[in-house]
Chain A
Amino acid sequence: MNKVGVIGSGNWGTTVAHLLATNGRDVVLCTRNREVLHEMNEYHTNKKYTGSSPLSKKIKATQNLKEVTDHCSIIFVIVPSQVFREVSFELGHTVRGDQILVSGTKGIEKGTCKTMSDILKEETCCKKVGSLSGPNIANEILSGQPSGAVVGSHYEEVIHDVIDLFSTSVIPHKDPGSSSYFPFKVYGSYDLKGVELGGALKNIIAIGSGIATGLGLQTNSKSFLVTRGLGEMTRLGVFLGAQKETFLGLSGMGDLVTTCFSTLSRNNTFGRLLSQGKSKEAILKEIGMVVEGVYTTEIAYEISQKFQIPMPITEGLYKILFERASVEVVLKGLLKFDVTYEDEGYKTVFTEAKHLLVNKFPTPEYLF
């Protein structure tokens, strides 16, 4: 039971498996892709997702989910949000109540408004769940640059065990002359919802930032977008039960800044290509990987409409992505948006609900 399981062999899944393995853990990585399985076990690379970076030999790839659940006390689930429920359901056949499940996927489920850890709890018998999130561009981590993340969970045990797994994690720096080794630093947070929502909602703003880059806009405009975007993320997050402060941490602000300013981010790339006039479908085909931000935009827009939470940037992006509105029109609309004070969004939310002094339970998710 000392092994660690990772489900999903995409670029973040592979990176997490590698980080764990370099820290001396025996990792069982479950993948559906036969070619990846073969490549990982034979050549210790995953060309499709992590390029030619050599991966640790302590990773054993398998197609059999039971092999993971039989031998691992902690299992990371890192598969696209659209298949997350399906995979969790399968996991539920063999998993037991003493195991810890950690989601590494950043997304919200369409139609239910549930986060990934919610899905893990619904589809399996496990209660001890958590979420790993932070400014983590897989390729940068694999190339040996220092980085960190935050693990959110209500359970002290989950936080401690996950931090322990990574605590001495080191990746040899590529530069042969350098003797420096950078551990992957993991922090803990009790605000699971905040950690998950920060990671999911930032993808929306990242698409916006990509569009801005594509249009040739400079730092001023992008900072403007990112800051207002963070406000919007926080507003929705707080409504869904997260704490405001979490959005200023690694999983909120940290992740947002990374994705908005990095050219390696998928969501950012998607935005850039979009501003060049390409269609959504064509870009998705070109990137070849899942762009979570597209789905998250749709879901966040739906929630904001249903509960009247002001989210002008998300609304604008929704119009560009799903109603084929022109970027220019949306941008002008955003700048003309009738807001006088910086914190006005919160006021509107509260006046709406003012005649109800009673808490609006059970959580908004109950109402979907």
Chain B
Amino acid sequence: MGILAYVVPPMSLFHFTEDRKKELKQRVIDNSLLEVLSYPQSKKDELIEDMIYWETQRVKRVSWGFKKKRELSYWNRFRQRYVKTLDEEDKAYIFKEAIFNYTDEIVGNFNPKTYRFSVQIIPRFLDFLMNASSLKRFYSYTKSFINENLVLTGDLERIGKLSHEATLIYTPTHVSNLDSILIGTALHQAGLDPVMYGAGLNLFRSKLIGYFMKNLGAYKVDRLKVHELYKNVLKEYTTSSLEMGFHNLFFPGGTRSRSGAVEKKLKLGLMGGGIKAYIRNLQHKKKNKNIFVIPMNLSSHLTLEAETLIDDFLRAVGKSRYIIENDEFSKPQRIFSFLKTYTKLHSKTFIHFGDPLDLFGNQVDQNGVSMDRHGRTIDIQKYVEKNRKILLNEDRDQNYTRELGQSLLEVFHKNNRVLSTHLVAFTLYEYIASQNKGDIYQFSRKHAYFKPIPVGVVCEQIDVVRKILSDLSAKNKISYSDSLRKKTSSEILHNALRIFATYHKRKTIYRKGNEIYIGDIFLLYYYHNRLVGYNIEGALRGSL
């Protein structure tokens, strides 16, 4: 049986052929245009004016030389055309041109050959880099980077089954640019199909990484295009791709967590496309109409870009106003050193696939039927009905997406896996905060004068925090694994010290004799933040 013979949604990216790509583009153009033309006159004008203004601003900021001149004159001509438009038809033409161009720019590509090549070669290439001295190890698959350093948990069988019956949206937590590579590898390891995902334009610029991005289903997201028309086209792209049955991946945090904490607030703009696609599926009476959300938790001991991220966080206090282009991810030697640390220390990245949710934030059973908290089945079609008619309602659907966001946040916190580096950093930072008044800015100015902390005291404090973690874990609020539970606090401290001694330019903490010194308070704060959000600091009050 040929691949195309059984194609009904959901579709794997392997079915993203040239024809389907054309179809997707056409859908995006048609739907976006239909929506825009339904707006009142004043809104249409606003959309065009905003577009011209923001595009000109963008060109002035990022382009240079001949390209800048050419683009500026394009938008200038565009402006003149708009000023001269007299009737609706002309305006519709302007919209059509803009939407066509944006769709053409956004659309991704998938090349099965590149995919097969990359899933087979990349891991071996990594191993080769890591173990260039040992050819024996290079050939032994069981000892590969992925097998040793990537741990997948969760109900993979069920997700695999669902992926054939429904369209899936994977929503991982996000700390590093390496995440998408890790997730791609993890999906392959778990026997799941590759997915469509949006990647910032900056990732396409690098020749090597850009090549893989372009051919592995990534679509382009230009975060400098901030006007509504572009965002609408982008949203329509995800909506239409979900409607066609392609599995998608969104980072619901919107960008890498700058503070190092688990996402506390989600950007759900693109997620909203899920409900829209579901409603369209219902209206077209599709057989496989369901769309499910798979929350994923990525946890690792160290973060590649920790230094840059925390610096940006403290500058902008979490507003992430800058798009970081020049971070550790753009320096191959840093990536190499990071991966080396990983293999040498047998440090692991844990990827947990959470239980599937429906688009309204409800749990889903083995057969893809939504359930309430007491296991009673829910007819989710009712959510989008009003007087027995299936209807779109922007305000209502946004609220549903917000409910989903709330459920996702809870799942992210529940499945957040405590690792030794986070535990030690949290304990030490809280200890410092209890001994000294102030916040991270003040600590950063005076931490050179902090007294070193005796190892015995640190171990005692770790035990106090572990006790609270056990309680939280018993209430199913955090993932505190058995392997960490079984270790003694001095083993945990030792493990964290060993990991902190590598990779980063400065050691986060280090040991001298029988005392622990703080080497980089920003990094300590960064790794500490992973455990913020559980009021552990409140429970610690008085005991540190």
Residues of A whose CB lies within 8 Å of any CB of B are: 1, 89, 92-93, 96-98, 121-125, 127-128, 154-157, 306-308, 354-362, 364, 366-367
B533 touches A156 (CB 8 A): no
B413 touches A362 (CB 8 A): yes
B383 touches A127 (CB 8 A): yes
Contacts of B265 in A (CB 8 A): 359, 361
Q: Which 9 A-B pairs have the closest CB atoms?
A: A97-B382, A361-B264, A97-B383, A359-B264, A156-B395, A125-B378, A355-B433, A98-B382, A358-B261
Q: Given A358-B532, A362-B413, does the pair A124, B383 have CB atoms closer than 8 Å? A: no
Contacts of A364 in B (CB 8 A): 535
A357 in complex: contacting residue of B317, B477, B535, CB < 8 Å: B317
Question: Would you call B179 an interface residue if the criterion is a C-beta within 8 Å of the partner chain's C-beta atoms?
Answer: no
Instruction: Bits for B512-544, please: 1 = Cβ < 8 Å to A, else 0.
Output: 000000000000000001001111011001000
B140 to chain A, nearest CB (A): 43
Q: What are 8 A-B contacts defined by CB distance under 8 Å?
A: A123-B374, A154-B402, A157-B395, A306-B538, A360-B533, A361-B264, A361-B413, A362-B264
B538 touches A362 (CB 8 A): no
A2 to chain B, nearest CB (A): 10
B383 touches A92 (CB 8 A): no
**Of B118-126, B385-393, B492-500, the one touching chain A:** B385-393
Contacts of B374 in A (CB 8 A): 89, 92, 123
Residues of B whose CB lies within 8 Å of any CB of A are: 259, 261, 264-265, 313-314, 317-318, 360, 362, 370, 372-374, 376, 378-383, 385-387, 393, 395-396, 399-400, 402-403, 406, 409-410, 413, 433, 438-440, 443, 477, 529, 532-535, 537-538, 541
A146 to chain B, nearest CB (A): 31
B395 touches A155 (CB 8 A): yes
> For the complex, would chain A's binding face be called helix, strand, loop or mixed by DSSP majority?
loop
A351 nearest in chain B by CB position: B437
B258 nearest in chain A by CB position: A358
CA distance A328 to B229 in the complex (A): 66
Q: Given A98-B383, A98-B386, A361-B264, does the pair A124, B372 have CB atoms closer than 8 Å? A: yes
Contacts of A361 in B (CB 8 A): 264-265, 409, 413, 533
Contacts of A367 in B (CB 8 A): 477, 534-535, 538
A128 in complex: contacting residue of B380, B396, B433, B529, CB < 8 Å: B396
A123 touches B373 (CB 8 A): yes
A127 in complex: contacting residue of B318, B393, B399, CB < 8 Å: B399
B165 to chain A, nearest CB (A): 21
A125 in complex: contacting residue of B372, B406, B541, CB < 8 Å: B372
A355 touches B533 (CB 8 A): no
Number of interchain pairs (Cβ within 8 Å):
103
Q: Given A358-B261, A366-B477, does the pair A96, B382 have CB atoms closer than 8 Å? A: yes
CA distance A64 to B260 in the complex (A): 52
A122 touches B403 (CB 8 A): no
B508 to chain A, nearest CB (A): 18
A155 nearest in chain B by CB position: B399
9 new A-B pairs (CB below 8 Å) besides A123-B372, A157-B393, A357-B439? A97-B385, A128-B396, A154-B402, A155-B396, A157-B396, A357-B440, A358-B259, A358-B261, A359-B261
B373 in complex: contacting residue of A1, A97, A122, A155, CB < 8 Å: A122
CA distance A121 to B374 in the complex (A): 12
A358 in complex: contacting residue of B264, B400, B443, CB < 8 Å: B264
A156 in complex: contacting residue of B362, B370, B396, CB < 8 Å: B396
B387 touches A1 (CB 8 A): yes
B372 touches A358 (CB 8 A): no
Contacts of A154 in B (CB 8 A): 399, 402
A354 to chain B, nearest CB (A): 5
B385 touches A98 (CB 8 A): yes
CA distance A357 to B264 in the complex (A): 12
B396 touches A97 (CB 8 A): no
B14 to chain A, nearest CB (A): 35
A160 nearest in chain B by CB position: B395
CA distance A125 to B261 in the complex (A): 31
A355 in complex: contacting residue of B362, B439, B534, CB < 8 Å: B439
B362 in complex: contacting residue of A125, A128, A157, A360, CB < 8 Å: A125
